[in-house]
Amino acid sequence: MELKYVLTRSGDDLFSVAVETPADAQALAVRLREAAGWVEVIPGIASVVVRFDAASQDSETMRRILEQALAGEVPILPVPDSVVEIPVVYGGRYGPDLEAVSQTIGLSPKELIAAHTAGEYTVDMLGFTPGFAFVGGLDSRFRIPRRDEPRQHVAEGSVGVADGRTGLYAMASPGGWNIIGRTPFRLFNPDAEDPFVLRAGARVRFQAVTAGEFDA
């Protein structure tokens, strides 16, 4: 797969490679991890950051290694066969921003829930906190900004929307996403052999459930 990219120096020990899509970033990260010398390769939504050991490695040498890697074939990553169904209770104490988001995008709460559960989406990346999933693919009506005042505490499992994406809080943390619901799924379990339920590239659907089903 041929990939369009823009390479920039981002710090004393960092290079950043801008790409067009989250899928491009994930595929490029796989290719770059095959190249020797990198301390870390971090794929994002529209870029891949690579870090090297500036104390022992020359930046120009590392740039040449990076450029050679970028000139190679980038793998086409397989699309997962299965779709992860994520139950969500919308509104009320679980989704305190549902009403405000509904007014902003011009839908009733019922219509908003129907729109959010209608599609099949892709996890673009994990980041921010362990297991936090950035899920892409919401329609253009959901391209709304984050809250002007972030909350100091957002509950584990909270489901937020902003910038055309869904954000899934795998653990409690501060946050500025517009919270429309919550899932009982435990998205991050540090004691498990595989602590993450979701991975970049995973296909997901949201399923509306009642508060009683959530509590059960």
Q: Do 30 and 50 touch, CB atoms closer than 8 A? A: no
The answer to whether residues 121 and 190 belong to one domain is yes
- What is the bridge-based pairing of β-strands 83-90 and 178-182? antiparallel
The answer to whether residues 64 and 90 belong to one domain is no
pLDDT by 10s per residue, the chain, length 216: 556 788 888 888 999 999 888 888 888 888 888 877 789 999 988 899 999 998 888 889 888 888 888 887 777 777 777 899 999 999 999 999 999 999 999 999 999 999 999 999 999 999 889 999 999 999 899 999 999 999 999 999 999 999 999 999 999 999 999 999 999 989 998 888 888 888 888 999 999 999 888 887
Q: End of a domain among 37, 71, 105?
A: 71
Q: End of a domain among 71, 100, 123?
A: 71
1 located within any domain: no
How is residue 22 annotated by DSSP? H
Reported in sequence order, the residue ranges of 55-157 that DSSP labels E, i.e. its strands, are: 83-90, 121-126, 133-136, 151-154
